[in-house]
């Protein structure tokens, strides 16, 4: 496991360098938004460029950014001058809330559906869930979100169309109402993939010799499923969940945009529009690190759930 950590670090460096180059090659730069304003003069722009350090050579900018980043100093946002770390920190709760709820809902959908479909393999439930998850995996998420908004928010008026809370009426039910649609979009997409995988895993495990043997010894099927099959299958599902979770933490960019959810994903799109390099770099490094960490955590969890797994 430490093995993995050690290998991850040089990789993160390479990724950061590549992404740095990519971002800085974007036409425009962070000052471009001021150019369209007739009252801003070229001297002013030069002054800003110097103040932000953009006139130094590229490798110098990268090096100073990297050195600071590793020290924990993530620099200041180009667009409002505030520390990047606080800009990110204040968005984290919103993303965690959305991701957490989506993962929970997806899991709640996946486990019973996947297990039941596996156990009643070939039955009507299996076929229905197969079609449903196929549709779910094939859906463009943003389109699904837009359709939900039109139906539930505009035509029916049952749910708020976007945002995280109604300012001034900020209670639990209100939060839930705002969460329903974005979490539903994410949960559907996640659960579609996961349930197929879980179903496949459970079927595999149920067919394995030791399970058959246990059945022959008279163990009830319920016990078989819960004790053996589920544990095995869940173990490997955890790996997938971990990767998906980590990627979501980087901000479900599309969902957050459609539902104006104030998390890391919408921070990303804003920073991209404003070429806010420091924020973009920090976000990408953060998510890459999250994926590595989650993968390691997944390995640990897998081993814990299923001690038979030897690494």
Q: Of the listed pieces 7-15, 58-66, 233-241, 299-307, which binds another protein according to CB under 8 A?
A: 7-15
List the one residue from 57, 157, 209, 218 that touches another protein (CB under 8 A): 157
Least distance CB 189 / another protein (angstroms)? 10
Least distance CB 160 / another protein (angstroms)? 6
Place of tokens 């730069």: 29
Backbone angle region of 162, left / alpha / beta, with phi > 0 → left and psi within -120 to 50 → alpha: beta
Chain residues 73-92 in contact with another protein, contact rule CB under 8 A? 79-82, 87, 90-91
Q: Does 291 bind another protein (CB under 8 A)?
A: yes
Q: Does 14 bind another protein (CB under 8 A)?
A: yes
List the one residue from 84, 98, 106, 159 that touches another protein (CB under 8 A): 159
Q: Does 34 bind another protein (CB under 8 A)?
A: yes
State which residue, 293 or 303, has the beta carbon closest to another protein.
Answer: 293
Q: Kindly state the tokens that stand for 41.
A: 């003069």
Which residues are registered as beta bridge partners of 76? 83
Chain residues 235-274 in contact with another protein, contact rule CB under 8 A? 243, 246-247, 250-251, 253-254, 257-260, 262-263, 266-270, 272-274
Least distance CB 230 / another protein (angstroms)? 10
Chain residues 92-151 in contact with another protein, contact rule CB under 8 A? 94, 108-109, 111-113, 115-116, 119-120, 134-135, 137-143, 146-147, 149-150
Q: How many CB atoms lie within 10 A of CB 64?
A: 13
Identify the CA nearest to 136 among candidates 60, 188, 99: 188
Q: What is the DSSP letter of 168?
A: T
Q: Kindly state the tokens that stand for 287.
A: 């998510």
Contact yes or no for 88/283 (Cβ under 8 A)? yes
Q: How many CB atoms lie within 10 A of CB 214?
A: 16
Identify the CA nearest to 91 among candidates 261, 264, 245, 249: 264
Contact yes or no for 129/120 (Cβ under 8 A)? no
Q: Does 301 bind another protein (CB under 8 A)?
A: no
List the one residue from 226, 307, 308, 309 that touches another protein (CB under 8 A): 226
């Amino acid at each position: 496991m430490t093995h993995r950590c050690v290998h991850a670090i040089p990789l993160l460096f390479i990724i950061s360098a590549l992404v740095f180059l990519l971002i800085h090659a974007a036409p425009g730069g962070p000052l471009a938004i001021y150019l369209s304003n007739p009252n801003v003069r070229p001297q002013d722009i030069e002054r800003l460029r110097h103040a932000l350090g953009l006139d130094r050579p590229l490798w110098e900018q990268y090096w100073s950014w990297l050195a600071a980043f590793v020290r924990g100093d993530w620099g200041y946002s180009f667009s409002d001058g505030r520390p990047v770390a606080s800009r990110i920190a204040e968005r984290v709760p919103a993303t965690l809330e959305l991701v957490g709820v989506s993962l929970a809902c997806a899991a709640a959908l996946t486990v019973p559906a996947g297990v039941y479909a596996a156990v009643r393999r070939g039955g009507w439930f299996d076929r229905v869930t197969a079609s449903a998850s196929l549709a779910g995996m094939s859906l463009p998420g943003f389109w699904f979100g837009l359709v939900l908004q039109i139906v539930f928010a505009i035509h029916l008026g049952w749910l708020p169309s976007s945002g995280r809370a109604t300012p001034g009426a900020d209670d639990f039910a209100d939060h839930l109402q705002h969460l329903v649609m974005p979490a539903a979009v994410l949960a559907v997409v996640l659960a579609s993939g996961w349930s197929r995988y879980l179903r496949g895993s459970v079927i595999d495990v149920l067919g394995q010799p030791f399970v058959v043997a246990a059945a022959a010894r008279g163990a009830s099927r319920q016990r078989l499923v819960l004790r053996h099959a589920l544990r095995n299958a869940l173990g490997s599902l955890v790996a997938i969940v971990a990767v998906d979770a980590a990627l979501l933490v980087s901000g479900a960019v599309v969902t957050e945009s459609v539902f104006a959810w104030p998390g890391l994903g919408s921070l990303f799109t804003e920073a991209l529009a404003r070429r806010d390099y420091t924020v973009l770099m920090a976000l990408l490094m953060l998510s890459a690190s999250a994926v590595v960490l989650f993968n390691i955590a997944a390995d640990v969890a897998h081993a814990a759930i299923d001690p038979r797994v030897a690494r």
